[in-house]
Amino acid sequence: MAEFSIIDQYFNRQSYTDVTLGIGDDSALITPPVNQQLVICADTLVAGRHFPLDTSAHAIGWKSVAVNLSDIAAMGAKPHSILLALSLPTIDHEWLEGFSQGIYDCCNQFGVALIGGDTTQGPHLTITVTAMGWIESGQAVLRSGAKVGDYVCVSGQVGDAAYGLQHLGHPLQKRLDYPTPRCQLGQQLKGLASSMIDISDGLAQDLGHILKASKVGARLLLEKLPIDSTLEEIPEQQRWQYALAGGDDYELCFTITPQNYEKLLQKQLDIKITMIGEIVEQTQLTFEHLGSDYPLQIHGYQHFA
Ligand code: ADP
Ligand code: MG
């Protein structure tokens, strides 16, 4: 089957609303809204590295889109559209059916259009999604804005996906396979959060990026970490390893002044947020547990380890 019939059969089934020219020409056309900046990012998923080899095609499709929408959310932006670059070792129709459905299910849930891409044969299954979104000029929430005295907050629960990866078949595997990008919360934090990042490599490491960019430190309260009841059952050290170093959470970690935190709580939020610590001057990440210092060695996911 030719490249074109794959595109037509599986990747050209959406009706667009807000796209000037979608799939079918050499490029897509989007008409930018006035006074907005384009927010754009890409993420590649490689089979066996970013998901277990037996992950369902539908979940792979969903996750390829979700991890990118999470990056758009982490800027405070509204997602608009994606491009899909696909390298396939073979043409497997059953797989393509599930995969494309996963792509569209995630796109539809978050009001995003698939507007183009590239399809090629290659030795490994590799999926690169480029996501685009909009934000009012100058309003993007960067990593560099955290200030001493800000609260450190996180959405949802952390450690679920890492636990799911270690215990395939456990209900928490759903959090690994079907991460939920926090698109609405990200936009609600625009104008309120002082810095933000989405958690892909573990809370400690990703918060570390905020601390470095903002030239500050943080003190986290371990007992406040929002974790699943399953993780409450396991020994403390292991529990915090999942929560702080697990990765694949796709929750938002952000800093916010105490005043803006109060404002945020007045809003209708579709996901729980938890205050887990505070930004401090000393440029280190330290932990306390029930009021006492708690030395903890944490390592996040290293791409080239
Ligand atoms: P070109 O050869 O000019 O790069 P292609 O033949 O690769 O164009 O693609 C034809 C059209 O199909 C383009 O609009 C392209 O964006 C789109 N397309 C190709 N692969 C995909 C895909 N996997 N998903 C969505 N759109 C795709
Ligand atoms: Mg091409």
pLDDT at 16: 74
Contact present, 242 and 192 (Cβ < 8 Å): no
Residue 217 has pLDDT above 50, yes or no: yes
Residue 53 has pLDDT above 90, yes or no: no
- What is the distance in A from the centroid of ligand 1 to the CA of 16? 16
One of 1.10.150.130, 3.30.70.2860, 3.90.180.10, 3.30.1330.10 is the CATH number of 3-136, namely 3.30.1330.10
> Mutation test of ligand 1: which of 7, 44, 128 has the most ligand atoms closer than 8 Å to its C-beta?
7
pLDDT tens, position by position, 68-83: 999 999 999 999 999 9
pLDDT tens, position by position, 246-272: 999 999 999 999 999 999 999 999 999
Nearest CA to ligand 1 atom 19: 118
Q: Which ligand is nearest to the CA of 85?
A: 1
pLDDT at 305: 47
- What is the distance in A from the centroid of ligand 2 to the CA of 296? 49
The answer to whether the CB of 84 is under 6 A from ligand 1 is yes
Name the segment(s) of the chain with CATH classification 3.30.1330.10.
Answer: 3-136
pLDDT at 55: 94
pLDDT band at 4 (very low <50, low <70, confident <90, very high): confident
pTM over 0.75: yes
pLDDT band at 3 (very low <50, low <70, confident <90, very high): confident
Please state the residue numbers annotated as binding site: 26, 43, 50, 71, 117-118, 143, 198, 200-201, 248, 301
Tokens coding 201: 């490599």
Looking at the domain covering 150-292, what would its CATH class be? alpha beta
Residue 302 has pLDDT above 70, yes or no: no
Q: Which residue has the higher pLDDT, 297 or 113?
A: 113
